[in-house]
Amino acid sequence: MPTTTWVLHVDLDQFIAAVEIARHPELRNRPVVVGGNGDPSERAVVATASYEARVFGIQSGMPLRLAAKRCPDAVFLATDAPAYQEVSERVMARLRQFPAVVEVLGWDEAFLGVTTADPEAFAADIRHAVQEETGLSCSVGIGDNKLRAKLATGFAKPAGIYRLTRENWWAVMAERPTDALWGIGRKTAKKLAEAGLTTVLQLAGADPEDLAARFGPRLGPWYRLLAGGVSDAEVTATPYVVRSRGRETTFQQDLTDPGRIADEVDGLAQRVAADVAEEGRPAARVAVKVRFAPFFTHTHSVTLPEPTSDAAAIGRAAHEVLGMFELGKPVRLLGVRAEFPPPPG
């Protein structure tokens, strides 16, 4: 089998919901909706929903109130961006250990440029590595360019692998609606339908001059190229900048003594401070994570008066954050994390 260059698209399945379910295993197989402060009566929208909640028609961007009407028994949780960022960084760091060029698209997805004779085996290794690193599942799309790899992931979900290339493009995509294409949304699809173009095959065969007249000289012809599966195949490495350094400890026996808990946080803070000094960048925020028995995890954080690498300042901030918790339950895990200021530009 000849060695070929492929584009792989890695997409973490129901990412935000999956992170929350990992933190709250008792919610597994239940409809979970994450958004806002977790109060369905507030004016906020769904960040993500578990597959069990999606059965009820709940989707990202939907008002929480509507989600609650569609599934009154759903569990609503507040968004916790630092937790999702932390897991995302672990995933992307693991992907960078593969012999591939990694281009990060967001918290939960990335393109990989890979040279291999067996892309399915490579994709299977990726899925295993992500599962091993985080306990989360991912789907992998294989393509001969970015567009096809991205679309292939949709056919792979959940937790699968799918290949979409020039060879099977028309067999898979010809009769699908135009908004099945990455880059064409519902509004554009409606305008295309008004022009008599309802399928990918019809759009691919449309008059480019007519498309340019209707949608503009740039977008019109571009829509036609999308329908033909034409796309950039170059994966560009995303510069990797560490956004935080953290340490955590899971205890063999749950902690109940506040003094012991404070001592453990102090020790973790000192280790984190050493990591910050090694990084050569000052910390801007300090966060503390507490996992109570049986498995409830909470995180609080504070912004430092000014960015610093001083161990004493980081330790004081960690103790300040620890004071935000109600330590009335046994503690099974403690963590301290220092977050760096975002890079300029």
Q: Which sequence positions are flagged as catalytic?
A: 109
Q: Of 101, 89, 127, 120, whose CA–CA distance to 11 is shortest?
A: 127
Q: How far apart are CA 141 and CA 152, in angstroms?
A: 4
Q: Residue type at 301?
A: S
What does the DSSP assignment read for 166-178?
Answer: TTTHHHHHTTSBG
Q: Within a 10 A sphere around the Cβ of 72, how many other Cβ atoms?
A: 10
Q: How many residues does the chain have?
A: 345
Scanning the structure block, which residue is given the tokens 């306990």?
135
Q: Is 13 helix (H, G, I), strand (E, B) or coil?
A: coil
Q: How far apart are CA 38 and CA 79, in angstroms?
A: 7
What are the residue ranges of helices labelled H in the chain?
15-23, 51-54, 64-70, 81-95, 119-134, 146-156, 169-173, 186-194, 200-204, 208-215, 219-227, 258-279, 311-322
Q: How far apart are CA 117 and CA 152, in angstroms?
A: 19
Are 163 and 122 in contact by the 8 Å Cβ rule? The answer is no
Instruction: At 345, list the tokens.
Output: 């530009």
Scanning the structure block, which residue is given the tokens 């102090």?
266
What does the DSSP assignment read for 279-299?
Answer: HTS-EEEEEEEEEETTTEEEE
